[in-house]
Amino acid sequence: MAATIQRYDTLIIGAGIAGCMAAYMLQKKGQKVLLVDRSAVPASGGSGAAGAFVSPKIGKGSALQTLTNEAYEYAKDFYVTHFPKHFLQTGVIRIPKDADDAKKFRLYEPFNESQYHRVSKEALEAMGIHNAEESFMFDEAGVCDAPAMCRAIFEHVPFEQFEVESLEEESGFWVVKGKEKCHYARHVVLATGYENRLLDMRYMGVRGTWGSRGDYYTSLKLEVSMHKSISVSANIDGVVKLGATHNKAKNPCVVCDGKPLKSLEEQASKMVNSSDFVLKETFCGMRSGSKDYFPLVGKVIDVPFMLETYPKILRGAKPPLKYRENLYVLNGLGGRGFVFAPLMAKSLAETIVEEKETEMKINPDRLFLKWCRKL
């Protein structure tokens, strides 16, 4: 007897923090969802490599800072409420890089929207933090255990392992095909990180930045996490996380040969007493960012249709946009996936279920016409 074809409200491709969170939010809204990934476990991509610090952005109040901090406020409350075991509110101290940077911190202060207080050089020294100027302490910030967080969210949603090879539209459904699998879903969410071989989505300008980081065994007493030029976590069960490098290289092996950790170790040794640090594990993964560093959340434009139907678009015409029906993206979370994912997934779920318009600052539409003019 032929197996019954399952039809889903939404099928989400990619089980990183973005996909796990999208599946979770959509299911909470009553949808029948299926999460798929080529890997059998969640967080096999960039999400598994993340140090997963969840802290606010400092600066002079740019639109990106405002959005990041809105996402930060939402994320920390979300994790504390729903997944407290995997988010430790260690506090995160933002330390100026040098005396010049310390002057900038004073200008940034009026734009610190999240709860914080100043910490003097002497207080930092007493905590075992060396060579530091007066800093900002964000008490409610902290660190996720990245794979454990993704696993915990993942446990709430149905999952199947397969590599999606094609997406086709058929009678109001998406047919999502892998080598030996085929599923039908009304909506599809692409949460595939820096990879996308399924559709022409070049206008979103997704690009990857490799990063390496390490976990170290240590007996160092360190109760708070910090960020200067690199991040150093609090000592959590005898382990401190150091992270991370940023490298545009395409070949991961070049970046993962162990040497980048040397620079992290050197920088850490100037911040804290790292004399007994012993490398436990190395992580390496790709961050996927957009052209303007804002996340990419919402509908996907039908690029071939637009270029064929409106050739004048290349010379600045602004025709109405046509979308691929019921196809969505959740990507471009850059170096702050664990900060952005909860709020961006909530927004996407509202777009899909309640047909709420996605705000333009995160909507990929913002990049389309500009991209066309450059073709």
Ligand X SMILES: Cc1cc2nc3c(=O)[nH]c(=O)nc-3n(C[C@H](O)[C@H](O)[C@H](O)COP(=O)(O)OP(=O)(O)OC[C@H]3O[C@@H](n4cnc5c(N)ncnc54)[C@H](O)[C@@H]3O)c2cc1C
Name the site residues for ligand X (rule: CB under 6 A).
13-19, 36-39, 44-47, 49-53, 163-164, 191-193, 195, 211-213, 243-244, 283, 285, 287-288, 331, 333-339
Residue with Cβ nearer ligand X (96 or 260): 260
Closest distance to ligand X from the beta carbon of 22 (Å): 9
Residue with Cβ nearer ligand X (14 or 56): 14
Sorted by sequence, the CB contacts under 8 Å of residue 319 that are 6+ apart come out as 306, 309, 310, 312, 313
Question: Measured between alpha carbons, how far is 178 from 180 in angstroms, rounded to an integer?
Answer: 6
Closest distance to ligand X from the beta carbon of 259 (Å): 15
Q: Identify the residue whose tokens are 């709020």.
A: 343
Burial of 139 per CB tally in 10 Å (0-12, 13-18, 19+): middle
Which strand ranges, in their side-by-side order, compose the sheet holding 142-144?
53-54, 142-144, 87-88
| H helix and E strand count, the chain | 11, 19
Closest distance to ligand X from the beta carbon of 294 (Å): 13
Residue with Cβ nearer ligand X (294 or 306): 294
Closest distance to ligand X from the beta carbon of 1 (Å): 29
Burial state string for 215-249 with b = 16 or more CB within 10 A and e = fewer than 16: bbbbebebebbbbbebbbbbbbeeebbbbbbebee
Residue with Cβ nearer ligand X (96 or 208): 208
Q: Identify the residue whose tokens are 């545009």.
A: 248
8 A C-beta contact, residue 264 and residue 230: yes
Residue with Cβ nearer ligand X (109 or 257): 257
Closest distance to ligand X from the beta carbon of 333 (Å): 4
Question: Measured between alpha carbons, how far is 269 from 266 in angstroms, rounded to an integer?
Answer: 5
Secondary structure class of 237 (helix, strand, coil)? coil
Residue with Cβ nearer ligand X (213 or 228): 213
Residue with Cβ nearer ligand X (261 or 306): 261
Enter the DSSP assignment of 193: T
Reading the block at residue 12, the tokens are: 């989400």
Sorted by sequence, the CB contacts under 8 Å of residue 307 that are 6+ apart come out as 313, 314, 372, 375
Closest distance to ligand X from the beta carbon of 24 (Å): 12
Give the CA-trace dihedral at 62, 51, 149, 40, to 10 degrees.
120
8 A C-beta contact, residue 15 and residue 43: yes
Closest distance to ligand X from the beta carbon of 347 (Å): 15
Closest distance to ligand X from the beta carbon of 374 (Å): 25
Reading the block at residue 167, the tokens are: 């997406």
Residue with Cβ nearer ligand X (328 or 372): 328
Residue with Cβ nearer ligand X (313 or 352): 352
Closest distance to ligand X from the beta carbon of 67 (Å): 14
Closest distance to ligand X from the beta carbon of 48 (Å): 7
Closest CA to 330 of 291, 303, 299: 299
Q: Identify the residue whose tokens are 């696993």.
A: 151
Residue with Cβ nearer ligand X (192 or 274): 192
